Amino acid sequence: MYTGMSSALSSVENQRLPTIDKNSDAQALRKQTDQFEAVIVKMMLDNAMKDEKNIFNSSNDPGDKIYKSMFRDELSKASAGSFGFSQMLFEYLSERGTIS
């Protein structure tokens, strides 16, 4: 199996995925699909940036790992809704008549 895929799958198991309430109105559904996209983007960033150089001097500094994780989390939240995953999921759920 492709090693990147196995690490991505283990990353999925550790992420808390947002649940999508099928009885939501359009605005609430959009927010939920954006949150879902943020999780996907975060997983991609975690995998892509895992070999990035350390920010602080010490290679084992826990602050470095925490800072990087927080940075990737905020970056994924800020970019949620702009990659297209959210739009595709929103349209799919809308077509299936899940929103009123």
In this structure, is residue 64 part of a structural domain?
yes
Q: Are 23 and 93 in contact (CB under 8 A)?
A: no
Determine what percent of the chain is predicted with pLDDT higher than 90. Answer: 5
In this structure, is residue 27 part of a structural domain?
yes
CB-count burial class (<10 Å; 0-12, 13-18, 19+) for 14: exposed
User: What confidence score (pLDDT) does residue 26 get?
Assistant: 83
Range of 19's domain?
3-95
Least confident of 6-15, 24-33, 81-90: 6-15
In this structure, is residue 91 part of a structural domain?
yes
- What mean pLDDT is reported for the chain? 74
Alpha helices in the chain (DSSP H): 3-14, 26-48, 62-79, 85-95
In this structure, is residue 10 part of a structural domain?
yes
| Model confidence band, residue 53 (pLDDT cutoffs 50, 70, 90) | low
Look at the chain and report how many structural domains it folds into: 1
Q: Greatest CA span in the chain, whole angstroms?
A: 54
- Taking 80 as the threshold, does the pLDDT of residue 72 lie above it? yes
What is the C-alpha separation between 41 and 58, in angstroms, rounded? 28
In this structure, is residue 51 part of a structural domain?
yes
In this structure, is residue 100 part of a structural domain?
no
In this structure, is residue 7 part of a structural domain?
yes
